[in-house]
Amino acid sequence: MSGTIAAPGSTPIPDKPSRAPVRVTKQSFDVYEPRATPTLTRAFQTDPMMTYAINKVPKESRPATLKKVMHLLLTTGLLKDATFYESGALSPSEAENPESAEPKYQCAGIFIPPGEKAQDLSARGWWVLIKHGLLPLTRRTGVSGLMRLVEEYPSIADPAKEKMLAKGEPYYYLLIIGTDPDHQGKGLCAALIREHQKAMQEKGIPIWLEASNKNAMNVYSKCGFERVPGEYLVGKGKCDAKGEKAKGAEATGLEIYPMVWWPVGYVKRKIQG
């Protein structure tokens, strides 16, 4: 929105053009999962948080383990009524008629609606994950690996949310987003995020996320997200900054960066306390 003046505390949607023609689409889970899972698996091969979750697994077995993690994350998104996006760079011929271009899944992102938390599953939800391979995955990672994803990581961000969001204040949550390494640098992640920002601008709903590395944080900052002040460490005393097992002085843990985007003109609710 070029020329828009943001109300105090709100963040305008950047209108910078993507570095390449990009198409963003929404897809159903059945169509999305088989193509998005490999993309996200490649995108998170060296991500510190994912490494921390599976660092008990031998390195040669980690790609297969990570693929199963991604499959279960996407399945969790389905259970939480998530919105599934993909984006891809268009060739010059496709750019002339973008609606006819096939989805490319060079980038994939999943947003969970207000009132839902990925870690809060019903008995049916856990049963669905068990049917999709949760128990074999847990045997690979150990129970501690599972708990790092479903309990330790989400709980680290709770104090940040208390700083920025009033109790009951609705927000969409970016569960995961990643770009295939072969297609990074094309503006695919930013284009996908802006697509959801446009929808949330119309609804007047903020978006929350946690960046698991500084590069991701910088991308989100360029999309108008505000970093929450403070230091938020995962795995301190158990892993190094890359998520690998560590002890003593090397076990610094890894820093995550909670961030929030406010629609233009959004009036924040008063935080009690």
Every domain of the chain and the residues it spans: 22-261
Query: Residue 191: CB partners within 8 Å, gap ≥ 6?
Result: 18, 22, 24, 87, 107
In this prediction the pTM is 0.89
What is the CA 267 to chain-centroid distance, rounded?
25
Q: Token pair for residue 121?
A: 């599953």
For 154: left if phi > 0, alpha if psi spans -120 to 50, otherwise beta; the answer is: alpha
Positive or negative: CA dihedral 222, 228, 230, 231 = negative
**pLDDT of res. 99:** 82
**pLDDT of res. 233:** 95
**pLDDT of res. 5:** 25
The residue type at 188? L
pLDDT per position in the chain (273 positions), as tens? 222 222 333 444 454 554 668 999 999 999 999 999 999 999 999 999 999 999 999 999 999 999 999 999 999 999 999 999 999 999 888 887 888 788 999 999 999 999 998 888 889 999 999 999 999 999 999 999 999 998 899 889 899 999 999 988 999 999 999 999 999 999 999 999 999 999 999 999 999 999 999 999 999 999 999 999 999 999 999 999 999 999 999 999 999 999 999 999 998 877 665
Cα(157)–Cα(224) distance, integer angstroms: 19
The residue type at 247? K
**pLDDT of res. 19:** 60
**pLDDT of res. 94:** 83
Report, at the CATH architecture level, how domain 22-261 is classified: 3-Layer(aba) Sandwich (3.40)
**pLDDT of res. 98:** 81
